[in-house]
Amino acid sequence: MRTLVLGGSGFLGSHIVDRFVAEKHDVTVYDLYTERYRRTPKGVQFITGDFGNVGALDEVISSGFDAIIHCVSTTTPKSSDESAEFDIQSNVIGTVRLMDICVRRGIGKLVFLSSGGTVYGDVGDIPAIPESHGVTPICSYGVSKLSIERYLSVYHHLHGLNYVSLRLSNPYGERQSPHRALGALTVFLYRTLTQQPIEIWGDGSVIRDFIYAGDVASAVHQASVGPLKGVFNVGTGAGTSLRELVAEITRAVNMEPRIVWLKSRPFDVPRVVLDCTKLKTATEWKCLTGMQEGISKTAAWLRDAEAS
């Protein structure tokens, strides 16, 4: 199967590339830069290009692909609110242009990485959120992701575009930058290993669903090669508070971090845990990596990256 991974040099993109290479697929990566933490894997074709360059993107896609994996995002939940216009222009409009290309070029399937952590908004104390739950995002990032999902549905209805939207919880793992304002587990872990203070907004009671990147890549593969259509959650179904996360990290690396407590942020909803029954029922997918194993793998990579 010929697969194009847009943003394949990024954190999640690189894990998706690994999965498709392991499954013997023909993989092409389209990104602005090669991977930051390693060389492009053997057998992968890398094409330098900007997601916003419609002509260049069209030229690449014109060669024909069975599946396109859309991993590109120009914003984070925090940065999206600093310029909603940029978020809309670069992400929503950019993806609509991609859909037009996919329809024109007859692409087999478009798999979009959405955000289960932001599209639902504040759902209260629901143990695990199913896809059928209402969506009321409270940051521009979530609104943009949801808008793209809606346009995918429209393009399927009007043009027959075959798509899957995967609402991811909170991925972590190797090759996730510990220096960005995204990815609490990896950031907390790195700062613990380097004996820097951890910053926590609020009282640490915020609950998230942390999933290892390799399990996300497995779900993306299932969505690409199988008959899936529509929207699916991708998470562990288990919630971990930030206080509990610190305890898990302490246990995994045997180091006690220092915590700096900061004022809570308005876009941090109290609890987001995803119900992934729909995906598990439709495929053979399941999470295989427990938190302690995932933290250990990520810690080993962070140590190696710091030493090199």
Q: Is 246 inside any structural domain? A: no
d(CA 186, CA 249): 10
- Other CB atoms within 10 Å distance of the CB of residue 1: 15
Phi, psi of 29 (to 5 degrees): -110, 135
| pLDDT at residue number 76 | 87
| pLDDT at residue number 63 | 95
Q: Is 165 inside any structural domain? A: yes
Q: Is 13 inside any structural domain? A: yes
Whichever domain contains 121, its CATH number is 3.40.50.720
Total count of domains within the chain: 1
Digit-coded pLDDT (tens) for 239-277? 999 999 999 999 999 999 999 999 998 878 899 999 999
Which residue, among 7, 237, 215, has the nearest Cα to 111 in the 3D structure? 7
Outline where DSSP puts E strands in 202-304.
207-208, 210-212, 230-234, 240-241, 259-262
Q: Is 191 inside any structural domain? A: no
Rg, the chain, Cα only? 19
Q: Is 304 inside any structural domain? A: no
Structural element, H or E, at residue 282: helix 277-282
Say if residues 40 and 24 touch (Cβ distance below 8 Å).
no
d(CA 293, CA 93): 39
Q: Is 221 inside any structural domain? A: yes
DSSP code per residue over 157-214 = HHH---EEEEEE-EEE-TT--TTSS--HHHHHHHHHHTT-PEEEESSS--EE-EEEHH
Digit-coded pLDDT (tens) for 5-61? 999 999 999 999 999 999 999 999 999 999 999 999 999 999 999 999 999 999 999
Say if residue 145's pLDDT is above 90: yes
Q: Is 135 inside any structural domain? A: yes
Stretch 198-219: mean pLDDT: 97
Stretch 271-288: mean pLDDT: 96
What is the span of the domain harbouring residue 217? 2-172+210-235+277-288
Pairing of strands 207-208, 240-241: antiparallel
| pLDDT at residue number 17 | 98
- Other CB atoms within 10 Å distance of the CB of residue 262: 10
Say if residue 308's pLDDT is above 80: no
| pLDDT at residue number 304 | 93
| pLDDT at residue number 274 | 98
Q: Is 69 inside any structural domain? A: yes
Digit-coded pLDDT (tens) for 67-82? 999 999 998 888 888 8
